């Protein structure tokens, strides 16, 4: 075969790395990818259109379904925008509880992505162990919120479910037993020489490319971009300003760095959860100020597991939002595949695509 | 085209602003133009480049400075019917290429304003 002859290899739209659809049209020379075209739109559900026809409380239910993994981040970000417009102050206890679910969500999301990376690499046992640990986190979230996914935890001005003393005790016990199990898994991955050699230097996104392509979350932090909304911006609906944790930043921008950032972020999330359980403030979980949402614009930002999420809400004084714009983190991260996949081996495409933790449903809304 | 979006985007880029997203909506006060906002993060603070376009109007693309704007601009084109420069015909769709009502968000916002005006 002529090595310089280009060949177009379509992959997808069925199941590239995740059970979600996207089509990659790879222009290849031999085994090397020379050009990429991404085709999306397969799971567009017109959620912004739906939101323009639903009242605020129905809207919370709809935005929970934007993403099956970040189904706490989306409603939290949405209600935070509405609270900003109506100048509603969220009780401190509710802010802590939102943060608690948010960090559990981060852990289960990162466990899922690491499990998928292990599966792609052929480490089936590690895949099962990571998924098992994730299942335990999901059980814990069900115990706290009453739901395994789509938690129905948020409402405008606070949260819908409190944690009583005995429940806090039970959650603490679960966290104490889950933490060593997950830390052991983290150590197993980070000390596995085969896994390291298979992911090191693959799918590099340089610092400059990460800046140019405006990527967010673990993908940006793995390329050395010091960006974490939990530390960088005010989140009046969350309690991060009262909690101690570190940003996890790596330098190399390869698949290994992205895996490392997610694993080490789980360590920080456990730190945050333990502080929340120890210092959970007493008081109400829902504001006493119930006012109609006036005409205005609310811009809300939230650090979802995959990176910065933004909701831009415009209200007109009725109980239906005039316009809600959702920018999920995967919207910019997936676009970066246009650059990350260039000059990579075709055999690594699935691994690299998986390493940016793409959520195709989230980004297409 | 008469707007200098690209120059302003270059200024923001030089200041170190990171692109976040692009929001478009039918101006709720006048109902005669489409507001387009490119939103940036400049050291943790939000900056906006705001422009208004006529129905089926055209705006300058800032893709040259911020490549990540491509999908957002294509989305605005298909949801609101305005044009950004430099996109071939086959790239004007993003999410609705399989069909559907043209410019759905523009239509729903037009109906809302009509309802508000006439009850």
Compute the residue count for chain A.
Answer: 365
pLDDT on residue B112: 85
A32-39 vs A23-29, strand pairing mode: antiparallel
Fold adopted by B5-118: Beta Polymerase; domain 2 (3.30.460)
Q: Give A197's contacts (C-beta < 8 A, 6+ positions apart).
A: none
Count other Cβ atoms within 10 Å, centred on residue A177.
10
Residue with the larger pLDDT of the pair B100 and A327: A327
The pair of three-digit structure tokens given for residue B101, joined into one six-digit string: 């009502």
The answer to whether residue B96 scores a pLDDT higher than 80 is no
Spans of chain A, pLDDT less than 70: 1-4, 15-18
Distance (Å, rounded) from C-alpha B65 to C-alpha A106? 32
Cβ <8 Å between A49 and B105? yes
Inter-chain residue contact B28 with A46, CB threshold 8 Å: no
Q: Which pLDDT does position A85 carry in this prediction?
A: 94
Residue B23, beta-bridge partner list: B37
Q: Are A279 and A306 in contact (CB under 8 A)?
A: no
A13: preceding bond cis by omega (within 30 degrees) = yes
Find where tokens 């916002």 sit. Answer: B109
Query: Which among B18, B23, B105 has CB closest to A312?
Result: B23
Residue with tokens 């789980």: A266
- Considering only CB atoms, which residues of chain A are within 8 Å of chain B? 39-41, 44, 46, 48-49, 52-53, 211-215, 227, 232-233, 299, 308, 310, 312, 314, 316, 322-323, 325, 327, 331-332, 335-336, 364
Would you state the pLDDT for residue B101?
Answer: 77
Query: Does the structural domain A50-322 have CATH classification 1.10.645.10?
Result: yes
What's the confidence (pLDDT) of residue B3? 63
For residue A129, CA distances in Å to A167, A190, A296 come to 27, 15, 48
- Give me the pLDDT at residue A343, please: 92
Radius of gyration of chain B, Cα coordinates, nearest whole angstrom = 15
Q: Where are the alpha helices (DSSP H) in chain A?
A: 47-51, 56-64, 73-86, 92-121, 124-145, 165-190, 193-199, 207-212, 217-222, 229-232, 255-279, 329-335, 337-340, 349-355, 360-364
B1: closest CA of chain A, how far (Å): 26
Q: For residue range A303-319, what is the model confidence (pLDDT) as tens digits?
A: 999 999 999 999 998 89
Model ipTM value: 0.89
| Closest to A269 measured CA to CA, from A237, A226, A240, A236 | A240
pLDDT at A290: 78
pLDDT, tens digit, 9 for 90 and up, residues B37-93: 999 999 888 999 999 888 878 888 999 899 989 999 988 988 888 888 888 877 777
Interface probe for A, chosen from B17, B23, B29, B93 (most Cβ of A below 10 Å), is: B23
Tell me the per-residue pLDDT of B4-37, one tens digit each, with 9 for 90 and over.
888 888 999 999 899 999 999 999 888 889 999 9
Which of B28, B66, B95 minimises the CB distance to A316?
Answer: B28
The dihedrals phi and psi of A239, each to the nearest 5 degrees, come to: -120, 20
Annotate A41-88 with DSSP letters as a single string: -TT---HHHHHTTS-HHHHHHHHHTS-SSSTTHHHHHHHHHHHHHHTP
- pLDDT at residue A342 in the model: 92
pLDDT at A364: 80
Q: What is the pLDDT of residue B20?
A: 93
For residues B2 and B5, what is the distance between their CA atoms, to the nearest angstrom?
9
The pLDDT value recorded for residue B99 is 66
Q: In chain B, what are the domain boundaries?
A: 5-118
User: B100, B105, B50: which is closest to B77 by C-alpha?
Assistant: B105
Residues 99-118 of B with CB under 8 A from A: 104-105, 108-109, 112, 116
Contacts of A345 (CB under 8 A, 6+ apart): A31, A32, A33
């Amino acid at each position: 075969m002529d090595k310089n002859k280009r060949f177009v290899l379509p992959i997808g739209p069925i199941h590239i790395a995740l059970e979600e659809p996207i089509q990659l049209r790879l222009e290849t020379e031999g085994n090397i990818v020379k050009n990429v075209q991404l085709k999306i739109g397969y799971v567009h559900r017109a959620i912004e259109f739906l939101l323009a026809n639903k009242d605020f409380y129905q809207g919370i239910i709809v935005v929970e379904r934007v993403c099956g993994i970040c189904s706490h981040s989306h409603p939290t970000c949405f209600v935070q925008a509405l609270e900003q417009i109506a100048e509603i102050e969220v009780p401190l206890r509710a802010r802590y509880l939102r943060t608690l679910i948010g960090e559990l969500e981060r852990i289960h999301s990162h466990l899922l992505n690491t499990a998928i990376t292990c599966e792609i690499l052929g480490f089936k046992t590690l895949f099962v162990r990571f998924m098992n640990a994730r299942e335990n986190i999901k059980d814990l979230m069900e115990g706290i919120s009453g739901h395994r996914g789509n938690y129905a935890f948020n409402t405008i001005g606070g949260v819908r479910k409190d944690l009583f003393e005995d429940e806090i005790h039970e959650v603490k016990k679960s966290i104490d037993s889950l933490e060593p199990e997950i830390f052991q898994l983290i150590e197993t991955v980070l000390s596995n020489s085969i896994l390291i050699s298979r992911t090191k230097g693959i799918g590099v996104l340089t610092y400059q490319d990460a800046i140019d392509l405006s990527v967010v979350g673990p993908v940006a932090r793995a390329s050395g971009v010091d960006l974490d909304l939990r530390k960088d911006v005010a989140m009046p609906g969350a309690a991060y300003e009262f909690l101690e944790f570190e940003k996890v930043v790596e330098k190399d921008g390869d698949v290994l760095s992205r895996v490392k950032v997610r694993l080490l972020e789980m360590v920080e999330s456990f730190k945050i959860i333990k502080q929340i359980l120890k210092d959970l403030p007493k008081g109400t979980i829902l504001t006493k100020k119930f006012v109609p949402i006036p005409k205005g614009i609310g811009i809300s930002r939230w650090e979802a597991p995959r990176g910065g999420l933004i909701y831009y809400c415009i209200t007109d004084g009725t109980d239906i939002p005039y316009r809600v714009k959702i920018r999920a983190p995967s919207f910019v991260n997936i676009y970066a595949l246009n650059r990350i996949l260039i000059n990579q081996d075709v055999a690594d495409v699935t691994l690299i695509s998986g390493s940016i933790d793409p959520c195709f449903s989230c980004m297409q809304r | 085209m008469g707007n200098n979006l690209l120059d302003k985007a270059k200024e923001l880029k030089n200041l170190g602003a990171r692109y976040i997203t692009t929001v478009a909506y039918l101006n709720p006060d006048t109902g005669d133009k489409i507001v387009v906002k490119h939103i940036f993060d400049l050291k943790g603070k939000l900056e906006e480049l705001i422009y208004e376009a006529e129905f089926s109007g055209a705006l300058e693309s800032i893709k040259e400075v911020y490549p990540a704007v491509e999908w957002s601009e294509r989305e605005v084109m298909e949801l609101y019917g305005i044009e950004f420069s430099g996109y071939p015909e086959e790239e004007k769709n993003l999410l609705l290429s399989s069909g559907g009502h043209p410019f759905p968000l523009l239509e729903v916002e037009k109906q809302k304003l009509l309802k508000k005006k006439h009850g």
